[in-house]
Structure 1
Amino acid sequence: MTILEQGGAAAPQPSDLIKDTTTQSFVQDVIEESKRQPVLIDFWAPWCGPCKQLTPLLEKAVRNAKGKVRLVKMNIDDHPSIPGQMGIQSIPAVIAFVNGQPADGFMGAVPESQIAAFIDKLTAGMPGGEPSVEEILKEAEAVFAEGDPAGAAAIYAEVLNVDAGSIPALAGLARCYMSTGAIEQAKQTLALVPEAKRSDAAVSAVQASIDLAEQASALGPVAELEQKVAADPLDHQARFDLATALNAAGKRAEATDHLLEIVKRDRKWDEDGARKQLVQFFEAWGPTDDATIEGRKRLSTILFS
């Protein structure tokens, strides 16, 4: 259902603030327009229940922003190539473009307050308040980001004491285990997530981290892989393996560099394998991680320039 014609009192009119885009008009509607003001692109599909919850909230928030930001919607069923190239693997997904590049994003049907806070942050406004449980979860994320996975795990445990089935808390706790190399404990924690919730973005991110870690464990030492690449820069498999090993060692920027080098040299290598691996990195790192944002930006430059 479209809400393009509803509401909106001040110029620019809602029809200008909210629109649908296609593969052909994406560059003009999103990349070029974002050079003038922030643009949110909402990747959705008609069969996606959470999308039907999120899109009206997005439209309302964009109208309330009174022209500070625009909303562009893309049906991934009709136009799969752009979300595929950008590594969008679950919907709803919202990516903010600023100055022609991806700048931030989130996945899932988040509350109205969180959307408002996201737009406020994007437009340099004051973030709005959020429900108490979300505040606790955000505190855990902040503690984790500060390099204290044990402290973050304790906070996630507080949430699980109240709600043993909290998907964000289970995913967060599993991520804490992964950061300390406790892969088996991470697996056991994810096993508590119901099958119907396994596609949740946070759960998928941890699962991707586990898959990448196990993939890296089968490779040789980083030094040996670096020697192979130095001896033959066109050995894409060695460079691919090196990127995987570097990611497992926490060297995200270097891992990104090597995969992008393959994409630039030979996009079709291994059936687009380098880009697909980079997409898995993005999923494991999360949409708001600096490495993901920078990686998407650089990938977009290669794909759309």
Structure 2
Amino acid sequence: MGTSLAVNQQSFATEVLEKSYEKPVLVDFYATWCGPCQMLKPILETMVQEYDFVLAKVDIDENPDLANTYGVSGVPDVRIVTEGAVKPGFVGVLPEHQIRQLLEQLSLRSQLNAELEALYAEAAQGQVAESTAKLQALLEKYPNDYGLILEAANFYLEAGNHEKAETLLGIIPQYEKEYAARARGLQSLIQFQQITQLEVLSELDGMYQTAAQAALDQDYEAALQGFLAIVQRDRLYRNDAARRAMLSLFDLLGNDNPLTHQYRKQLMMAIY
């Protein structure tokens, strides 16, 4: 857990510059009249409860000299301070997952992630009931953490509790595009499990099941190759099911994954 405090011209050197030699400091230049600042504030306050850094809040109206010194022209403006050096962070409101990525780049480890790793280790050792109880406690502690909700849905999915997984995935709002895409990807795993239980009546059915099983085994390249082969052979198979399965895998892998780039291009070539 980190520290959150208000900082002014007099305390900046001690609370920000000197402290930055001990741990990273995020300086939030804000204004009380700024709407986006009020949107960013609870996100940063949540992060400082999970990660070990200092959140230094500077009201630019009360500390205009500090704002001028660091060239703050718009708020919210978040700066990163390490070893006495004040560096650019971001301006405006970033989604929570991007702020988490920023903190991870500073080699900060979330307390939540540590607790997740511990309960996953317990589950791997057969202590499923204990790890499930701890996971439920985390969901109650962080009810609005969509990353945690996705982790929990994946946990229940691997445990075979599809109903609980689908309930959790239904919590993710569609306007949270990054999380919603990952939720669709996890929902596709439930569909893949259903595919493996279908009766095989043709060669394409067999290919379809093999690709779905590869996805469940996390052999995503083999899965994409299998679904692509079906698209190339019969685009209309099961109402375009193979193409839709590939799109689900793209959601699961994320847009930055090399496999997504590679097979999205191949899918476009196969279609057009």
Greater Rg over alpha carbons, structure: 2
Question: Under a length normalisation based on structure 1, what TM-score does the superposition of the two structures give?
Answer: 0.42
Question: Under a length normalisation based on structure 2, what TM-score does the superposition of the two structures give?
Answer: 0.46
